[in-house]
Amino acid sequence: MQVVIAGAHGKIGLRLVALLAGRGDVVTGVVRNPDHRGDVEQAGGTVAVVDLESATAEELAVHLTDADAVVFTAGAGPGSGVARKDTVDRAAAELLAEAARLAEVQRYLLVSSTGVDEPLDPGRDEVWAAYVKAKKAAEEALRATDLDWTILRPGRLTDDPGTGRVLLAPPPVERADVTRDDTAAVLAALLDSPGSIGKVLELREGEDEVHEAVAAVSR
């Protein structure tokens, strides 16, 4: 399988590059900063340096030629303001969808966030509110396309070692943590599961082995 990962230098993205390359897939990692090339290559991927905040869909589509799937794991990250929550977490996700359409790539996995269906907590700051709004808007835009999409909403992400066991289910699901290792593992399994197309899935730490969890929601 040939997979293009947007946000390949992120904490989930790099893990996913390594997992896919390790099982023999051909992986292209889209990064903004050319200094990140070495990390992605060390994980087993090739690199496309593209600024998703300024590139056109046509420019991005060049790097999707012959791909079987795209995965959006990008995010503005900690310390970014309200504006970049929109330009990265929403607009860049939409840009990838349009580029996939132009390159005739049907499969699209979107890493979103838990809580996007809930009313905004007035006690949270404006940056958090902008993040949730951006993720929700990205989901809505993807669902309106004809792509074969799956939306994954992890709980609070941790850098603890993965356990290989998760809770994967349609919303609503109570809030809880999940490791980035296990999130990457679930994304890899979803790529192999056409039965997950058109589904929104919440991901938490749990008791089910990753492939069993993915198989259960893909029936």
Number of helices (H) and strands (E) in the chain: give both, helices first: 8, 11
Q: Answer left, alpha or beta for residue 29, where phi above 0 means left and psi between -120 and 50 means alpha.
A: beta
Checking DSSP bridges between strand 26-31 and strand 107-111, what pairing results, if any?
A: unpaired
Which pLDDT does position 64 carry in this prediction? 98
Domain with 47 in it = 2-217
Tokens of 181: 């290792």
CATH number of 191's domain: 3.40.50.720
Distance CA 85, CA 91 (A): 9
211 touches 188 (CB < 8 A) = no
Which pLDDT does position 128 carry in this prediction? 86
Q: What single-letter DSSP state applies at residue 162? A: P
Which pLDDT does position 121 carry in this prediction? 74
Radius of gyration for the chain, computed over Cα atoms and rounded to the nearest angstrom: 16
* Whole-prediction pTM: 0.97
Average pLDDT, the chain: 96
Which pLDDT does position 166 carry in this prediction? 98
- Residue 219, classified by CB atoms within 10 Å of its CB into exposed (0-12), middle (13-18) or buried (19+), is exposed
Closest CA to 50 of 65, 39, 62, 67: 62
Which pLDDT does position 6 carry in this prediction? 98
Q: How many Cα atoms are found within 13 Å in the side-chain-facing hemisphere of 26?
A: 8
Distance CA 7, CA 21 (A): 16
Distance CA 131, CA 138 (A): 11
Domain count for the chain: 1
Tokens of 94: 């939409």
Task: State the 10-residue block means of pLDDT for the chain, 219 residues long.
Answer: 98 98 98 98 98 98 98 88 94 98 98 91 82 96 98 98 98 97 98 98 98 97
